Amino acid sequence: MAKRRRRERPDPPGPAGFLVVDKPPGRTSHDVVDAARAWLGIRKVGHLGTLDPQATGVLPLAIRSATKLVPFFAQSQKSYVGTVRLGAVTDTLDGEGAVLERYEGTLPDEAAVRGALEGFRGEIEQIPPMYSAVKRDGVPLHKLARQGEEVERTPKQVRVERLELLRFEPPDLEIAVDCSAGTYVRTLAHDLGAELGCGGYLADLRRIRSGPFDISQALSIEACDEAAEAGRIESLLIAPAEALGFPIVELAEAGARRVENGGDISPGTYDRAKPGMRISAVGPDGRLLAVLELRADRRLWPLRVLPA
């Protein structure tokens, strides 16, 4: 007889929002999600983009009903500062992996590095690394890699808006990267090493921005621990409407009820705006009720309604 699933106790009520954590090295993104669940005493916590265990920096967490807003951040640009180490290739494309090849020749000079970087700006193709969360027939590639398998991966197009050499101290190159969602900086480091003919891997990485969230807003694990113990962790949440950055329409009770039930409303001052415009609908209590979209019929329709 199949065991009945134990019913999870519903989360206690509280505000929705985003908590920006400065992820330390050695912890997975899921480790930080688990920590946030303990800080807040809830289960409904998600993150806006995985960071590798060795990477540090901005890891935005969606709290309570803010998890419903995660798709609105899916294509957000990311910014990183990292170190590429020339002269070797690893199986994971970063410093955590086993060295597959070492280069014994003279490393390229600064002019050669700057010239090679030019070719990685703009629209480029990347092959996802084997040690990644990309799935093949439902199985994450990193699981296949740990079983010693390597499978063919489909190249994908990404965009690198900025790729700048900040420091040249061979064998290390410090770089700054602004890129589209889905860009692997590990792959960028590996491909740069291949282009230079000496190999290379990502020695360290720090994310300093993810969409609207930047490092100035990021809180250390220790700061979050202290805030949770003091009972003020919820005061550190960034409000959903603030994070989204869409224009805001404030609704009276009747309009709020209509939107919460999936109904459309008049666009008001946004009547002449371009169809497709997104707007945050806020209720009388200041809570984000829904994300609305202006349609061709000149009405605002709910794209996503947040539960109370």
Q: Which residues are catalytic?
A: 52
Alpha carbons 5 and 238: distance in angstroms, whole number: 34
Q: For residue 171, is the peptide bond before it cis, meaning its omega torsion is within 30 degrees of 0?
A: yes
**DSSP letter, residue 63:** E
* Dihedral angle, C-alpha 235, 239, 243, 246, nearest 10 °: -160
CB 211 within 8 A of CB 73: yes
For 102, what's the count of Cα atoms within 13 Å in the CB-facing half-sphere? 3
- Please check whether residue 306 is in contact with residue 289, taking contact to mean a CB–CB distance below 8 angstroms: yes
**Closest among 292, 285, 281, 289 to 308, alpha carbons compared:** 289
- d(Cα 240, Cα 244) in Å, to the nearest integer? 6
Q: Do residues 201 and 172 lie in contact, with contact meaning Cβ atoms separated by under 8 Å?
A: no
Tokens of 173: 């190159």
Residue 221 in tokens: 């694990």
Any idea what DSSP says for residue 65? G
Short-list 144, 138, 130, CA closest to 184:
130
DSSP reduced 3-state for 116: helix
**Are residues 81 and 188 in contact, defined by beta-carbon separation less than 8 angstroms?**
no
